[in-house]
């Protein structure tokens, strides 16, 4: 039986690049894949799935709360690849689990585990509850060489815990941080000008 995978990592951990590499690998073998993403993620265009490395592909399916996956439309599909899975409605995560179990199609979801307050996103929470396989896409802290776990948010260059969990296209900057640097930066309120190429919303 195929599995539902959740591959999570902090900002800038190359999750989308890994997804696009997986899509390329399947397609090089002549296999059909479908790329899905939440409709609300419009940072790089309404339909684009884009890595900060410059790789990009158009999504095949844009997911809303009421999106259904027709089994007939999935015939011949070797894998479903899902970007920004933290934004998925929990009910859709359950539908993905059904696809892997009932149609024997692997589903690989890539996304953040928690928001900038270190709270689980709804989609990520359901994935952690249902996924057959959970993997961490590792990266290093922006401020030191320890492993990044958290996403630190800056407003006008100052670390903050204010604002909504989902805030696309705003001026805030999110940087990956280890637990020590995350706490120290929030406690100190130290202003930061992100270095060129730092991940943004």
pLDDT tens per residue, range 141-161 = 999 999 999 999 998 889 999
pLDDT in tens, 87-128: 999 999 999 999 999 999 999 999 999 999 999 999 999 999
pLDDT value for 193: 59
Nearest-CA neighbor of 121 among 1, 41, 53, 25? 41
Percent of the chain residues past pLDDT 90, beyond the cut: 72
- Looking at the DSSP assignment, which residues form a beta bridge with residue 150? 177
- Would you state the pLDDT for residue 169? 43
- CB proximity list for 25: less than 8 A, separation 6 or greater: none
Mean pLDDT, residues 18-34: 96
Q: Which two tokens stand for residue 25?
A: 């690998």
Query: How far is Cα 97 from Cα 91, in angstroms, rounded to an integer?
Result: 10
φ, ψ at 199 (rounded to 5°): -65, 140
**CA-wise closest residue to 156 among 143, 142, 172:** 172
| Rounded average pLDDT over 51-75 | 89
On whether the CB atoms of residues 18 and 52 are closer than 8 A, the answer is no
Question: Mean of the pLDDT values across residues 61-89?
Answer: 94
Domain map (residue ranges) of the chain: 4-136, 140-195
> Does residue 47 carry a pLDDT above 90?
no
Residue 58 pLDDT exceeds 60: yes
pLDDT confidence of residue 199: 43
| 140-195 has CATH 3.30.60 classification | yes
pLDDT above 70 covers a percentage of the chain that reads 93
pLDDT at 171 over 90: no
The CATH architecture assigned to 4-136 reads 3-Layer(aba) Sandwich (3.40)
The C-alpha atoms of residue 8 and residue 186 are separated, in whole angstroms, by 23
Average pLDDT of the chain, as a whole number: 90
The least confident of 27-31, 32-36, 82-86, 191-195 is: 191-195
Question: What pLDDT is recorded for position 48?
Answer: 85
Q: Which residues are catalytic?
A: 84
């Amino acid at each position: 039986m195929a599995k539902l995978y959740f591959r999570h990592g902090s900002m800038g951990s190359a999750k989308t690049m890994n997804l696009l590499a997986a899509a390329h690998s399947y397609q090089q073998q002549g296999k059909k894949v479908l790329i899905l993403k939440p409709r609300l993620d419009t940072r790089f265009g309404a339909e684009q799935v884009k890595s900060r490395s410059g790789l990009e592909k158009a999504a095949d399916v844009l997911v809303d709360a009421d999106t259904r996956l027709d089994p007939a439309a999935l015939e011949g599909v070797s894998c479903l690849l899902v970007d920004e899975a933290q934004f998925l409605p929990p009910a859709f995560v359950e539908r993905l689990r059904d696809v892997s179990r009932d149609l024997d199609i692997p589903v690989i979801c890539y996304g953040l585990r928690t928001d900038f307050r270190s709270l689980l996103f709804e989609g990520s929470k359901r994935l952690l509850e249902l996924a057959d396989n959970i993997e961490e896409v590792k990266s290093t802290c922006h401020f030191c060489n320890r492993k990044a776990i958290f996403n630190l948010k800056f407003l006008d260059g100052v670390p903050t815990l204010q604002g909504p969990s989902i805030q696309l296209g705003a001026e805030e900057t999110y940087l990956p941080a280890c637990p020590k640097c995350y706490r120290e930066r929030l406690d100190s309120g130290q202003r930061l000008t992100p270095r060129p190429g730092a991940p943004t919303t």
